[in-house]
Structure 1
Amino acid sequence: MPFSIAIHGGAGTILREQMTPELQREIEAALEKSVRAGQDILSSGGSAVDAVTAAVKVLEDSPHFNAGRGSVLTHREMVEMDASIMSGKGKNAGAIAGVKHIRNPIELAKAVMEDSEHVFLIGEGAESFAFEHDFLYTEQDYFYTDRRYDQLQSMKEKGLFALSEFRYPDDNKYGTVGAVALDQYGDLAAATSTGGITNKQYGRVGDSAVIGAGTWAENQVVAVSTTGMGEYFLQENVAADLAARVRYLNETVGQAADHIIQGELKDRGGEGGLIAMDKSGNAYFAMNSSGMYRASIDPRGKCKIRIYADQD
């Protein structure tokens, strides 16, 4: 069977004029490290679930992406992280939201899927489950970066939840990371992880932790991970809707992705994108924004890394 993997590091307004060569090299290197981590597992006969977990962990460990180490800060200057994972085989899934002391949230989502009777755990309960299953307690200091602190102060001054000025090339990017994969056994999987939105309050949770909105995997149909304005992706149930269009309307994955991202979602003002993989291991990238950090390794082993929307 062919096998392949694709990843994303968030979509939104990513400006060439703000991107330095050094920063671009660092981001592209992290994307390549992520996609190759997943590919290494697939090529050695590993599962799609393990591949997407490994790929997302690399992005969570990088300060360049809004997940894990590089997560944005809440109104109270804390990090609250969400993640979800789904296996196309049997449609098993796991999700967590609002965790503050877990270094790699995607690993916890995977543990919920594999080691609990539940699908979705939140906050203190999710962390209690984590520590009972030998996850290490990680201090908040680990997640702090100067960039995210500066972003929060800028937004607090203006009373905003979306940035109106740019200090970095992707300040107005909806920071989520994700991966989709097909393994040698024909199984699909998808995973998504995020730090949410800067200056969020009230325990806000977006689409990344929600099975059907931010993550979906169904064998012989599609695997999907989304990134964008979470409230719109929740309302449109984007990931599951894409799968339904493939299943019931016999659309290709590309047709279904474009219909949602360029049609219904865009018409409502929902900016963002998604990555999807069909049952043959073909990766699709759809976005209605100026860019999306993304990379893929196709069934022939060819690696592609892209940032801007106008790159094929």
Structure 2
Amino acid sequence: MNWSLMIHGGCGAMRPDRLPPEQEDRARVGLSAALDAGEAILASGGSSLDAVEAAARVLEDNPAFNAGRGSVLAADGRVELDAAIMDGRDRRAGAVAGLATTRAPVSAARAVMEHSPHVLLTYAGADRFARERGLDQVANDWFITPERRAQLDKVLAAGGAFDADIKYGTIGAVACDMAGHVAAATSTGGLTAKRWGRIGDSPLIGAGTYADDRAAAVSATGLGEAFIRAVAAHELAARIRLTGARLQDALDAVLADVGTLGGTGGLIAVSPTGEAAWGFSTPGMYRARASAAGREVAVYSEPERR
């Protein structure tokens, strides 16, 4: 079997003439480091579940991305973190939403999957569960960067309306290991200036995250409300399992359906044979993939700068 790993660092208005070179370089370095973490596991015969968690944790700790440290701020000036992970072998899944003090949300999601009878835990209860499982805790300020604070100020000054130009998006990872098992993980800080306990698609199994050895592992990024309404990640897998659609064709069709609901964003997916696919409807998407055949890191839709 061929192992395969694909990751994303969110999508949005990233254009060569608008994205500062130093910001692009930080993102590329971060994506490469996440590939290193996941590839080390998969190339040595490790599991897809371990690989997606390891890759996601690297991205969560990197302030270049909207997950973990460097997440966007809610309207009250705090960070609220969401994550999910899913094992394609038996469709076990775990998710957390509204975390405020748990350093590694994706690991908290895995703990929910493996050490609780539940799938989704939220807010103070989710942090309390993570503490009880011995996961690292930090002050909420630890997640906040000056750049994200400035973004919140800009949005609030404009009346609180969402500004796509400063949304960098979710992070995610999908993988197929040498045994042909797939897994998916997604993590995010959500939307700048979000209110009322808003939760997007990332921690919702079947919307922003899904994995099934009968079809594919999927992670989404973009306008979460549209991905929820489309049940996008599950829909992609269902098209493969029920109609025999090709992975890329299924991904493209689901992304088009998200568009009919007024949403933009991106999807990454891998199949149990190691085939990989990605697509996005925004100017750019931070993304990377690796397999025994090599690796690639990309940002824009046009030919990549090397």
TM-score tier (shorter): over 0.9
CA distance in 2 between counterparts of 1:20 and 1:13 reads 12
Shift of 1:144: 1.0
Cα 1:20–1:155 change in 2 (3 A) is closer
Which residue number in structure 1 is paired with residue 40 of structure 2?
40
1:229-268 alignment to 2 at 5 Å? Answer: 229-261=223-255, 263-268=256-261
CA distance in 1 between counterparts of 2:53 and 2:107 reads 7
Which residue number in structure 2 is paired with residue 7 of structure 1?
7
Correspondence for 2:181 among 148, 164, 187: 187
CA distance in 2 between counterparts of 1:288 and 1:19 reads 17
Shift of 1:11: 1.1
Which residue number in structure 1 is paired with residue 100 of structure 2?
100
CA distance in 2 between counterparts of 1:74 and 1:63 reads 16
SS in 1 for 2:57: helix
Letter in 2 for 1:274: L
Give the number of aligned pairs: 304
SS in 2 for 1:64: coil
TM-score, normalised relative to structure 1: 0.95
Correspondence for 2:190 among 187, 196, 217: 196
Residues 281 and 299 of structure 1 are in contact (CA less than 8 Å); yes or no, is this contact kept in structure 2? no
Q: Gapped runs of 5+ residues in structure 2?
A: none
1:92-241 alignment to 2 at 5 Å? Answer: 92-163=92-163, 171-173=166-168, 175-241=169-235
CA distance in 2 between counterparts of 1:113 and 1:294 reads 26
Shift of 1:19: 2.3
**Bigger mean CA offset, 29-38 vs 9-18:** 9-18
Which residue number in structure 1 is paired with residue 299 of structure 2?
307
CA distance in 1 between counterparts of 2:297 and 2:105 reads 24
**Alignment pair present for 1:61 and 2:86:** no
Shift of 1:212: 0.1
SS in 1 for 2:161: coil
Correspondence for 1:275 among 268, 271, 286: 268
SS in 2 for 1:292: strand
Letter in 2 for 1:276: A
Letter in 2 for 1:144: I
Q: Gapped runs of 5+ residues in structure 1?
A: none
CA distance in 2 between counterparts of 1:142 and 1:256 reads 39
Shift of 1:299: 3.5
RMSD (CA atoms): 1.2
Residues 48 and 175 of structure 2 are in contact (CA less than 8 Å); yes or no, is this contact kept in structure 1? yes
Residues 7 and 275 of structure 1 are in contact (CA less than 8 Å); yes or no, is this contact kept in structure 2? yes
CA distance in 1 between counterparts of 2:222 and 2:111 reads 26
CA distance in 2 between counterparts of 1:310 and 1:239 reads 25
Letter in 2 for 1:224: V
- Residue deviations 1:123-165 (CA, integer Å, cap 9, x gap): 111111111111122101211101100000111011133116x
- Residue deviations 1:100-126 (CA, integer Å, cap 9, x gap): 001110000011111111111111111
SS in 2 for 1:17: coil
Letter in 1 for 2:98: G
Shift of 1:184: 1.3
SS in 1 for 2:69: helix
Shift of 1:22: 2.5
Give runs of ≥4 in structure 1 deviating > 6 Å: none
**Alignment pair present for 1:294 and 2:291:** no
CA distance in 1 between counterparts of 2:303 and 2:254 reads 20
SS in 2 for 1:223: strand
**Bigger mean CA offset, 245-254 vs 189-198:** 245-254
Letter in 1 for 2:237: A
- Residue deviations 1:81-112 (CA, integer Å, cap 9, x gap): 00000000000000000000011100000111
Residues 161 and 198 of structure 1 are in contact (CA less than 8 Å); yes or no, is this contact kept in structure 2? no
Letter in 1 for 2:236: L
CA distance in 2 between counterparts of 1:278 and 1:186 reads 8
